[in-house]
Amino acid sequence: MNEPTAPTMETARSMCDEPAAVADWLVEHGETVQGPVSVARVGFGQSNITSCVTDRSGREWILREPPPGKAVSTAHDVHREAGIISALAASGIPVPHVVGTGQTAGGAPFFVMHRVGGRALETERDAESLTPDQRQDIGRQVASILGRLHTLDPAVLGLPEPRSPYLERQIRRVTQAWDANGRDSRHDAAWQALRDSLAQAAPPRTRSVVMHGDFRLSNTLIDDGTVTAVLDWELAAIGDPLADLAWLLDDWRAPEDPAIVMPSPTRAGGFPDREEMVRIYSEASGVPIDRIDYYRAFSQWRAASLLQGVLVRRRKGIMGDHGAVDLDDLDASIETLLTSAAEHLKE
């Protein structure tokens, strides 16, 4: 399938820079807006831009748009993301209500959702405010929600069944991204060796499910110990359930696990361990857990590749200051992930 194309945003201002235009758009789409609105970036995300829109009465909406200078690909196709969230509205998976989609005067896409109650747990400090019982309960909810997601009929998304297996597609796409961002890096030899081993050892196609693609604790909202919404659906696809599970497990870091540049709130401790998360997920999904070490190696290799893209964009200065990270720490995290991926692959 060819990637959709759209104008880049190098010459267009983002909606987050145009609060008056955001207010006008909201009114045009039937929302009650009192007075001028303010727009503020939120979250630690290194991909699409998330902003909170607040009017004079305190009512809030969430604005999602691609980063400046990025042509629209699957990962940055926010209209596609809005369609997926809308398709899941009656599924039992907690998602926000989508108000609508639009384009800036310069042709850049965006969409707006209602603000759901709760807050994201992005760092260890965020998690430290929870009681031990809340940490355990939230972990169980997260594993159960992923399991329930994987029981949905993939037809709910309205996407065509992919002709090639998920792992094959991902290895091909990640390789294309690495060719653009990583071939001159110090990690290239290790990355290439892993890529070859992962391609050769890939398990056969399993059942196809609705995948989130970036399912982790920090992509949920928590309110009084309850998961109120799952966010950031830009990588959702029809694909392999164990790849989704492995991504969650890799982010589900224990206090003794090495830290990487992307913070993991579970390093605060007190959450269910990975074995319990797998058990809860399996009971909720009915998916057999097989060759999970392969999938964790694949996930860490993929994560390292994504961080390499972030590193290149940060070095070019096209991502602004929001969510800025130390570039040396970012580079070290890529090495940590590739080393861990090689160890899992040996398993």
CATH at 43:
3.30.200.20
Quick one: pLDDT band at residue 191, thresholds 50, 70, 90? very high
Q: Is 122 exposed, middle or buried (0-12, 13-18, 19+ CB in 10 A)?
A: buried
Q: What is the pLDDT of residue 6?
A: 36
- Whether 4 is covered by a domain: the verdict is no
Q: What are the phi and psi torsion angles at 62 (to 5°)?
A: -115, 130
pLDDT for the residue numbered 318: 63
Same domain membership, residue 179 and residue 79 = no
User: How far lies 112's CA from each of 44, 45, 101, 172, in Å?
Assistant: 19, 17, 7, 32
pLDDT given for residue 44 in this prediction = 60
Residues 19 and 147 in one domain: no
Which amino acid type is present at position 163?
R
Position 5 in a domain:
no
Q: How confident is the model at residue 169 (pLDDT cuts 50, 70, 90)?
A: very high
Q: Are 315 and 322 in contact (CB under 8 A)?
A: no
More confident residue, 14 or 165: 165
**239 and 302 inside one domain:** no
Enter the DSSP assignment of 202: P
Predicted model pTM: 0.89
Asked, for residue 8, whether it belongs to a domain, the answer is: no
**Do both 145 and 279 map to the same domain?**
yes
Greater model confidence, 334 or 326: 334
Provide, rounded to the nearest whole percent, the portion of the chain with pLDDT above 70: 90
Residue pair 344/296 in contact (Cβ under 8 Å)? The answer is: yes
* Residue 317 and residue 239 share a domain: no
pLDDT exceeds cutoff 70 at 177: yes
Assess if residue 150 is contained within a domain.
Answer: yes
Give the range of the structural domain holding residue 128, as residue numbers without chain letter. 117-163+212-290
Question: Which element (helix H / strand E) includes 63?
Answer: strand 60-65
Indicate if 89 and 197 belong to the same structural domain: no
Q: Are residues 142 and 234 in the same domain?
A: yes
Cβ neighbours of residue 2 under 8 Å, at least 6 residues apart? Answer: none
Start-to-end C-alpha separation, the chain: 34
* Number of domains into which the chain is organized: 3
Count the neighbouring beta carbons within 10 Å of the beta carbon of residue 236.
25
How far apart, in whole angstroms, are the C-alpha atoms of residue 213 and residue 66?
Answer: 17
Q: Are residues 233 and 327 in the same domain?
A: no
Q: Does residue 326 register a pLDDT over 90?
A: no
CA angle 43, 136, 294 (to 5 degrees): 75
Residue 343 has pLDDT above 90, yes or no: yes
Mean pLDDT value across residues 282-305: 97
Same domain, 279 and 335: no
| Nearest Cα to Cα of residue 211 among 178, 247, 175 | 247
Give 46-70 pLDDT, tens digit per residue: 468 899 999 999 999 999 998 775 5
